[in-house]
Chain A
Amino acid sequence: MRDQRRSPLASVGLHATLIVASAVAVFPPLWLLVTSFKPKSEAFSTDVVKSPTLDNYHHVLADTKFLTWFGNSLFVVLITTLLGVFVAATTGYAVSRFRFPGMRPLMWLLLITQMFPVAILIVPLYNIMSTLGWLNQPIALIVTYLTVAVPFCAWMMKGFFDTIPVEIDESGRVDGLNPFGTFWRLVVPLAKPGLAVTAFYTFITAWAEVAYASAFMTGEENLTLSAGLQTFVNQYTSDWGSMTAAAVLIAIPATLVFSWAQRHLVAGLTAGATKS
């Protein structure tokens, strides 16, 4: 409704802003895409592709374990995302709605996990994983990524739940639902934008993580995509051509997941329902 009254000038300004911002956002990945079609010898030249080639892609898909890595990543990331979103949602809800003993220490605990530098955590974590016999197992990465992603997601979900009126919960109680039923049947459906955001965040965190993946996983069979990508630089003496091609292949699923997630970010999704 507001939009119909937008003047032509405001419209131009709006689109101009967005076009400039989009150009800045897209350019580096686009340049990567362009580079991925260049023959190896021209990887560092600034010219647009003279003789486009699929060699880099062919090399990545045919000569490396790319598809295995892809499968590994997919497995780790899917489980991490499912568990992470669920756990973050319950935690966020508990913290948003209930005052319970231990709540404040919990909020601090979640924050503190984000404060200590990863560079220093990684060695003791490696020791734990090796004691548990989890090295080279997907579970090592799943658990680690959960500790990385869930604190943020729980905080985020708390924020979203805070914006959902308490009256909704109360109506659930009046109808005889227990708190978990209220949460699951009434509140979760309303928190879809928040869930979409946290799901995407968890996905991307796990999908693009390098440090833990290269520390915990060894042997080409077990690597995830981003750890596998590192081998192009170490092993084939900086094969940036393959690297860019692989980077493009890695970015595609992430972009797809986002386009799925953003369907839940449609305006006004919760507007009607939150009316008390």
Chain B
Amino acid sequence: MAVETGQSAGSAAGAEGARGRVRETAATHRPGKPGKPGKPGKPGEPGRPGEKSGVNKRPPGRIRNALGRHWYAWAMVAPVVLVIGLIIGYPLARGIYLSLTDANEANVERNIGMNHIPATYDFVGLDNFTAILKDPIFWDRLVWTVTWTAACVALTFAIGLGLAVILNRRFAGRTLYRSLLILPWAVPAFVSVFAWRLLYNERNGILNKILDGGGIDAVPWLNDPTMAKVSVIAVNIWLGVPFMLVALLGGLQSIPGELYEAAEMDGAGPWQRFRHITLPGLRSVSSTVVLLSTIWTFNMFPVIFLLTRGGPGDSTEVLVTYAYRLSFVNSPRDFAGASAWGVLILLILMLFAAVYRRALRKQGEVW
């Protein structure tokens, strides 16, 4: 049964055409099978002729075999697609639709007492988007959001990687250190953000007490625009490092120790081993965590909202907190505007993901 090794990602490149062929067969033979909802625009790749003939030479049993294997793949991903399609699909579509209307608190469908008032908002096309893009507030917030995201992700990754590499060695007390370093993750975020507010408090906070002991004037951690920016970034890094640390530690564990031994025998120094074994070995895991933590940080709501409410002024307001403000705080609540901000956030992140993916692809990583 040593067949179809081409199915595996490792040697995938040469067999793409073959798969295109199998896919067609699959579609004709089992039309009614589940497993493909929520997957619009399947890339067709209708097979390259030269490779296709290779498949045709195979006995039909093997094709059926491969066909069976496609169903495994689909069956394995089906639960995820179903749940996500159902739960996220509608809210997402609804958000996109609202962003093209002028819906606000005063004209949406609602119940006042026993009376049901139907929605009266209108479709306005791209008006919301042109308004937002002409508004300097948007560009201001975008610049800060990008700065915040870049600073947080870069520093969190660097610190997390450093600590993970240290903790991946064997030494006394490793387990203890690991547990302590992970602690910020174990405490619910909104609680630890509250703890940080206690620490940052200008008059009574312990940070300023300590500085005072050293003869330094009190620092307005959250009340000065620049300091507030530094402070929220610091808290977010503090929150994010444990996650990064655990993810990278997991990645480091799966790099075979033999590689290091072999490299050492060949006379590679610590830096060379890090550069040529650790970093490539971590690439798959780290490209994922960097991508996702970029998305999360860009959309980070609790830290900024709970720490500064976007203030002082609007100096720490990111795109997400602004959208939230439009939809939940301002009056009248501007649902259309908030949705339009949400859609713009989505577009920006998709653009980022596309560029990121292209960059990875140049290095041979494909998804």
Chain A contact residues, CB within 8 Å of chain B: 1-3, 6, 11, 14-15, 17-18, 21-22, 24-29, 31-32, 35, 44-46, 87-88, 90-91, 93-121, 123-125, 128, 143-144, 146-147, 150-152, 154-156, 158-160, 162-166, 169-170, 173-174, 176, 178-180, 183, 193-194, 196-197, 200-201, 204, 207-208, 210, 226, 229, 240, 243-244, 247, 250-251, 254-255, 258-259, 262, 265-271, 274-275
Contacts and interface: CB of A to CB of B under 8 A. Distances in A.
B323 interface: yes
Question: In this complex, which of A154, A208, A210 has the most chain B Cβ atoms within 10 angstroms of its Cβ?
Answer: A208
Interface string B67-86: 00110111011011101110
A135 to B, nearest CB: 14
A128 B87 contact: yes
A25 B187 CA distance: 11
Nearest to B270: A2
B254 A143 contact: no
Given A105-B41, A119-B323, A178-B72, A91 B77 contact: yes
B28 interface: no
B77 A265 contact: no
A271 B1 contact: no
Contacts of B255: 163, 271
B324 A117 contact: yes
Contacts of B77: 90-91, 94-95, 102, 106
Dominant secondary structure of chain B at its interface with chain A: helix
Contacts of A160: 250-251, 254, 285
Contacts, number: 357
A269 to B, nearest CB: 6
Contact of A128 (B84, B90, B209): B90
A99 B288 contact: no
Contacts of B42: 101-102, 105
A271 B258 contact: yes
A220 B156 CA distance: 38
A200 to B, nearest CB: 7
Contact of A125 (B26, B87, B168, B254): B87
Contacts of A193: 250, 253-254
B367 A2 contact: no
Given A99-B16, A194-B254, A124 B95 contact: yes
Dominant secondary structure of chain A at its interface with chain B: helix
Contacts of A111: 291, 295, 350, 353
Contact of B9 (A44, A159, A166, A207): A166
Contact of B181 (A2, A22, A240): A22
Contacts of B246: 197, 200-201, 265
B72 to A, nearest CB: 4
Interface residues of B, number: 126
A266 B249 CA distance: 10
B76 A93 contact: yes
Given A29-B183, A229-B188, A243-B194, A115 B367 contact: no
A82 to B, nearest CB: 13
23 contacts: A15-B173, A21-B159, A25-B241, A28-B238, A35-B198, A44-B198, A87-B80, A99-B9, A101-B23, A115-B295, A119-B324, A120-B339, A124-B90, A144-B87, A156-B289, A158-B367, A174-B2, A244-B191, A254-B187, A255-B179, A266-B253, A267-B168, A274-B256
A3 B170 contact: yes
Given A147-B87, A204-B185, A166 B8 contact: yes
B54 interface: no
B2 A120 contact: no
B125 interface: no
Contacts of B84: 109-110, 113, 147, 150-151
Given A99-B7, A210-B190, A116 B92 contact: yes
Contacts of B76: 90-91, 93-94, 180, 183
Nearest to B99: A120
Interface string B1-45: 111110111111001100100010010000000001011111100
Nearest to B253: A193
B94 interface: yes
The 10 closest A-B pairs by CB, nearest first: A124-B91, A208-B188, A94-B76, A254-B186, A98-B73, A166-B10, A90-B76, A22-B180, A247-B191, A119-B324
A269 B91 CA distance: 42
Nearest to A180: B72
A207 B256 CA distance: 33
Contacts of B289: 156
B196 interface: yes
